[in-house]
A and B are shown apart, each in its own frame.
Chain A
C-alpha cells in the first residue's frame, strides 16, 4: 500500500515477561475508518498507545506519511497529527472550553496576555466545524455533559490538525442519540481526509461507521477485512478462538436441594446495574461475565453493602443484609476488589498485616501478632506466596504475589461467600492456575463463590452457573453445562 497514512509492521511489546503484542501489522489510509476489536486484554490499548507515542515498542516499524518514524513521546505524535482520545476524557474541568481547546497555545499577542476575544472566536469556529455551535466556549468544561465533552475533545484534536484520530470506546457513556451525533462528526472528518481508528465493543456501531474491521486476539491480528465481508458471527469467532485452553476443570454439580446461601430478587442500584435476580447455593461458583461498564463491579458492591440498594431484596439464611463493608466481612462475606493497587493492597503495611486486616475486624481489640505471622505462614505455603517474610511491605512484591496476599486476606476471614472481582487481572499464567485451583477446592469444601471476569474462557472453565450482564441488565443466567462462548458473547452484546 503506497497511499497509506500509517503503516505498522511487526509491532511487538512485552510487560515484564508477559508478551502483549506479537508482531502486529496494521495499515490505515487517509479518510478511512478502521474498527479495532478484541476482548479485554487482547492488546488493543497497548497497540494504540504505541501508535500515539505513549508507550515505547520493543520491535517493529512504523511508517508515517511514507517515512519511517519513531515517536519518542505523545508530544512528538501530537505534533505529527496523531491524536488519541481516551475513554476517560482528559479535559480540565475547571478551565473554560476555549482554554481547553487551545491549551498550551493560547495565541498570546505582543503584550503576552491572552486575547480572550480572539480565543473565543477561534473556539466558536472549531466548535461549529464539529457541529457543536451551541456550546459556549467560555463556560467551564466540567459543566458540559459527557457527550459534549467528547465533542470538545474532537474539536481540540482539530485544533491540532489531526490526521489520525484514535477514539477509544467513544460511545461507552453516550446515549444512542448522542452517539448518532458523534458518528455524524466522524463521517464528516472522514470526508475531510482524517483517518480514524475506532475501538468499540458495540458491533452495531462498528457496522454503521467503519470501512474495515481489524480483530486482535492475544496480541495478534486474527482478522482484517473490509466491513462488507464481515459478519457479527465472524467477528465473535475471531475474537474468541482460544489461545491456550484451560484444563477442563470439572465444575461441581450443585444439588438442587443444597442449602441457599444468598438470594437476590430484582436488586438494582440507582441506574448503573439491575434488576438482577439469582440464588446462590452452598458450594456453587457463580461466574459473572460482561464487558467493561456492564455493571459487574457495581453488582458485587450492591451485594456487599458498599453500594446502596435502590430496589429489590437480598436474603440470607441468617437474615443479615450488610449496610457497609465492615458488616459484610463480619457476616461471613469476603471481597477481593478489582484494582489491586488502588483498592486492594495496604502498600506500606507488612504482608502479615495485609492478610490479617479483615479477620481482625471480627475479633477483639488486642492483637496476637505471633498468631498473625503464623496465619501468614499458613497461606504463604498454601498459595505459594514468594516473599522475604511476614514483615516485608506488600508494595515490594510482584503483582501476582500481591494478588495472592489479598486472596489470603479473604480466606483468612473464613467466609461463607467469597466475592472475587477480576481475581486474575494482571497476573501471570501460573498464578492464574493456582488461583483457579484454590477456587475449585474451596467450592468443593462448601464455600460459595461469586466471581467477575472479563475473560470468557475463565468463566466457562470455572463457573457452575454463568450470569451475563449487558449495560447493567442481566441477559443470561444458566448452568454452565453445555454453554458455549457464543452463547455468552451474544448475551453480553445483547441490547437488553
Chain B
C-alpha cells in the first residue's frame, strides 16, 4: 500500500474517517481521565458498545438491502420482558433465551412479510411494529418491571475474566455477519438488492426472500439485544430500549453504510457503534451533562456524513 492509496482510502471510505475519530477520542480520553484506561471502565465501555453493536449488525443488513428497521428499540423491550416472564413461569432460563430471540425473530419476519407481500413501505411497516411491540411489552407486564436474575441473565451481566460475555458475543457475531455479508451468496444478494432491486430481480435474485431474511436477522439480533440489556440490569423493564433505534441507525450510518442501500461494510458498523459508546463514556468520565452527550452524537453523525458526502462529490465531479 502506497501512501497515495492510504490517503485515497481515508478520503473515500467513511468508516476510515470514523475510525480516525474513534482513535482521536480514545487517545484524548487516555490523557483527559485517569479512570479511562482502568479495566473496570473499559469493561463498562465494551458493554455499552455491545448491545448497540449487535443490534446494529442486523440493522446494517436491512439498510444495505435498501430498507430501514425502526422497530428494534421496541423489540428490545418486548424480548427482555418475554425472556424474564418465560424463564420465571417455566423455571427454564434456556426457554427464556429462546423466547427472547424467538419473539424478535417473529417480529422481524412479520416486518419482512408485510414489506414484501403487502408492499408496505419499510419505514411505515416498522413504525407500526415499533408501536405494537412496545404496547405488547407494556400489556403483558401491566407496565411493571420484571425480575430477571437467573442464568439466562448471565449473558448480559456476566464476565469471563475481565471481559463481559456480551462483548464476546459481539465479536463472534461480527465475524459471523461479516462472513455472511462478504462470502455467501445470500449476503451478496443483500447488497445487490439494495443497489438496484429491479436489476437484481432480473438477474435471478429472489428479492422478496432476501428482504424477509434481513428483517428476520435484524429482529432476531434485536431480540438478543433485549435479553442482554435486561440481563445486564437484572431487571426487564417494558420500557427498555426506548429510542434505541436512533443510536443503532446512527452507528450504522457512521459506519459508512449508505442509507440509499447497496453500500457499507460490517466492520465499519462496529466502528460506528464503538464511537457512540466511547462518546457516551467520555461524558460520564469528564462529568459533562448528559444533555450535551445527546447533542454531540447528533453533531458527530452530521459531521461524519457531511464530510463523506463532500469527499464523494469532489471525487465524482
Contact = CB atoms under 8 A, between A and B. Distances in A.
Nearest to B263: A348
B204 A365 contact: no
B192 A358 contact: no
A376 to B, nearest CB: 14
Nearest to B193: A346
A357 B203 contact: yes
Contacts of A361: 185, 189, 203-206
Contact of A348 (B184, B198, B262): B262
A409 interface: yes
Contact of B198 (A342, A353, A363, A369): A342
Interface in B170-229: 183-186, 188-189, 191-192, 195-196, 198-206
Instruction: Point out which of A343, A344, A346, A363 has the most chain B C-beta atoms below 10 A from its C-beta.
Output: A346
Interface string A342-369: 1111111100010001101101111101
A415 B198 CA distance: 21
A326 B258 CA distance: 27
A325 interface: yes
B183 A325 contact: no
Contacts of A365: 184-186
A358 B199 contact: no
Contact of A360 (B185, B202, B258): B185
Given A346-B192, A358-B203, A358-B204, A364 B185 contact: yes
A265 B80 CA distance: 59
A77 B128 CA distance: 48
A367 B191 CA distance: 14
Contacts of A335: 202
Nearest to A340: B199
Nearest to B205: A361
Nearest to A372: B188
A347 B262 CA distance: 9
B231 to A, nearest CB: 32
Contacts of A451: none
Contacts of B184: 365-367
Interface string A322-346: 0011101110000101000011111
A329 B204 contact: yes
Interface residues on A, range: 20 to 34
A461 interface: no
Given A353-B192, A361-B205, A344 B185 contact: no
A346 B200 contact: yes
B197 to A, nearest CB: 10
Contacts of B183: 366-367, 369
A306 interface: yes
B185 A363 contact: yes
A325 B201 contact: yes
Contact of A343 (B185, B202, B206): B202
A348 B195 contact: yes
Nearest to B183: A367
A342 B184 CA distance: 25
Contacts of B188: 353, 357, 360, 367
Contacts of A360: 185, 188-189
Given A349-B191, A349-B192, A363-B185, A329 B203 contact: yes
Contact of A357 (B192, B258, B262): B192
Interface string B114-144: 0000000000000000000000000000000
Contacts of A357: 188, 192, 200, 203-205
B262 A326 contact: no
Instruction: Point out which of B183, B204, B258 has the most chain A C-beta atoms below 10 A from its C-beta.
Output: B204
Nearest to A353: B188
A347 B188 CA distance: 14
Contacts of B192: 346, 349, 353, 357
A348 to B, nearest CB: 5
Contacts of A366: 183-185
Contacts of B205: 326, 357, 361
A306 B202 CA distance: 8
Interface in A356-390: 357-358, 360-361, 363-367, 369
Contact of A345 (B191, B199, B206): B199
Contacts of A346: 191-192, 195-196, 199-200, 203, 262
Contacts of A345: 196, 199
A386 B201 CA distance: 26
Nearest to A356: B188
A118 B192 CA distance: 52
Interface string A191-230: 0000000000000000000000000000000000000000
Contacts of A330: 204
A357 B258 CA distance: 21
Given A330-B204, A361-B185, A361-B206, 8 more contacts: A345-B199, A348-B263, A349-B192, A353-B188, A353-B191, A358-B204, A367-B188, A369-B183
28 contacts: A306-B201, A325-B203, A329-B203, A343-B202, A344-B199, A346-B191, A346-B195, A346-B262, A347-B195, A348-B263, A349-B192, A353-B188, A353-B192, A357-B188, A357-B200, A357-B203, A357-B205, A358-B203, A358-B204, A360-B185, A360-B188, A361-B203, A363-B185, A364-B185, A365-B184, A366-B183, A366-B184, A366-B185
Interface of B: 183-186, 188-189, 191-192, 195-196, 198-206, 258, 262-263
Name the 6 nearest CB pairs between A and B, nearest first.
Answer: A329-B204, A361-B204, A346-B195, A348-B262, A358-B203, A360-B185
